[in-house]
């Protein structure tokens, strides 16, 4: 069964289309309701997880390190759910980090702009002109968020398999289009595509374990083998390798760990001036 990821310029539109699609296919729907349980599991507030998905890291908001950690928690939870059969995901930025999985159908649903303005007016109690300005600002913010966090512009149509404009297509028709597209053979899981998502899920589990102590780590998985890249000053290299290996091996599913340590030039330069 395919995995379906619904992205939209309106959270409520994405949720509505995803829920209807999941109902039509008898799939599970995975949305922001998972953030509550995730917060409890990792000791992060649900509000912080929501903010992480909606805002860029900032001094007065979610700081950069916490932002990266919260995104790692979200990725881990989403990938675990998407590596099981039959799911429709929305509102969790999965379209940006589920990459190269041939059975993942990514759909972008563009809400009717007049509908977005109406919703903004209702939510914020502002005039139509002000609501249009807010909507435009929020769209620009989403684009910036996706570029800064994932180096990929979520407003670019090239990111998706299907782009549907709700100004021209009714929501129920959009749902039907997604349901029908998902049954195309190209979205059938293969041994390769299932491995791709399982590898991503394992890498995300390892990353979550390592991030608190080693915020710079880059993790990749291939089957049961995990490659971890980090940076350290030469005198700390062996200690760091040992600590990372120990933590990574504690993650279920990890069979082999390779740690690659680059020279931390910045710290080395800073220390040489002391």
Token pair recorded at residue 78:
């989403």
The rounded distance, in Å, linking the Cα atoms of 127 and 157 is: 30
The correct pick among 37, 47, 84, 100 for binding another protein (CB under 8 A) is 100
DSSP 183: T
Position 5 contacts another protein (CB under 8 A): no
The alpha carbon dihedral of 227, 229, 233, 234 has a sign of positive
Closest CB to another protein among 67 and 106? 106
Position 252 contacts another protein (CB under 8 A): no
Cβ 178 to another protein shortest distance, Å: 17
Instruction: Show Cβ contacts of residue 242 under 8 Å, excluding neighbours closer than 6 positions.
Output: none
Phi, then psi, of 257 in degrees rounded to 5: -125, 130
The rounded distance, in Å, linking the Cα atoms of 2 and 183 is: 8
The rounded distance, in Å, linking the Cα atoms of 28 and 16 is: 14
Position 184 contacts another protein (CB under 8 A): yes
Q: Which stretch binds another protein (CB under 8 A): 86-94, 100-108, 131-139, 244-252?
A: 100-108
Closest CB to another protein among 184 and 260? 184
Cβ 248 to another protein shortest distance, Å: 22
- Which residue matches tokens 């299907």? 162
Position 141 contacts another protein (CB under 8 A): no
Cβ 161 to another protein shortest distance, Å: 9
Q: Is residue 202 classed exposed, middle or buried when 0-12, 13-18 and 19+ CB atoms within 10 A define those classes? A: buried
Map residue 30 onto helix, strand or coil: strand
Position 48 contacts another protein (CB under 8 A): no
Closest CB to another protein among 188 and 256? 188
Closest CB to another protein among 128 and 223? 223
Position 102 contacts another protein (CB under 8 A): yes
Position 183 contacts another protein (CB under 8 A): no
The rounded distance, in Å, linking the Cα atoms of 28 and 180 is: 17
Cβ 63 to another protein shortest distance, Å: 35
The correct pick among 23, 144, 188, 267 for binding another protein (CB under 8 A) is 188
- For the chain, how many residues are written? 274
Closest listed residue to residue 117, CA positions, set 167, 67, 50 = 167
Cβ 191 to another protein shortest distance, Å: 4
- Whether the CB-CB separation of 93 and 74 falls below 8 Å is answered with yes
Cβ 105 to another protein shortest distance, Å: 11
The correct pick among 5, 72, 87, 101 for binding another protein (CB under 8 A) is 101
What is the end-to-end Cα distance of the chain in Å, rounded? 59
Position 195 contacts another protein (CB under 8 A): yes
Cβ 146 to another protein shortest distance, Å: 19
Closest CB to another protein among 83 and 193? 193
Query: Interface residues with another protein (CB under 8 A)?
Result: 100-102, 184-188, 190-193, 195
């Amino acid at each position: 069964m395919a995995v379906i990821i619904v992205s939209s310029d309106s959270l409520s539109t994405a949720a509505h289309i995803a829920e209807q699609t999941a109902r039509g296919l008898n799939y599970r729907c995975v949305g922001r309701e998972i953030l509550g349980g995730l917060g409890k599991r990792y000791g992060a507030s649900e509000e912080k997880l929501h903010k992480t998905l909606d805002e860029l890291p900032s001094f007065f908001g979610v700081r950069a390190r916490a932002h990266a950690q919260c995104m790692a928690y979200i990725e881990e939870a989403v990938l675990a759910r998407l590596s099981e059969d039959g799911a429709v995901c929305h509102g969790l930025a999965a379209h940006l980090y589920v990459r190269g999985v041939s059975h993942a159908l990514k759909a972008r649903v563009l809400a009717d702009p007049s509908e977005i303005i109406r919703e903004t007016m209702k939510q914020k109690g502002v005039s139509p002109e002000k609501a249009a300005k807010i909507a435009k600002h929020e769209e620009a913010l989403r684009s910036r968020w996706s570029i800064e966090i994932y180096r990929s512009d979520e407003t670019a149509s090239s990111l998706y398999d299907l782009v549907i404009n709700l100004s021209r297509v009714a929501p129920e028709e959009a749902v039907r289009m997604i349901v029908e597209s998902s049954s195309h053979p190209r979205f059938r899981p293969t041994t390769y595509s299932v491995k791709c998502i399982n590898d991503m899920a394992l890498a995300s589990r390892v990353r979550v374990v390592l991030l608190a102590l080693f915020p710079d780590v880059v993790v990749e998985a291939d089957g049961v083998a995990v490659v971890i890249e980090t940076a350290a000053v030469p005198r700390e290299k062996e200690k760091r390798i040992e600590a990372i290996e120990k933590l990574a091996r504690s993650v279920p599913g990890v069979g082999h760990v390779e740690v690659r340590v680059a020279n931390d030039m910045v710290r080395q330069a800073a220390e040489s001036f002391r």
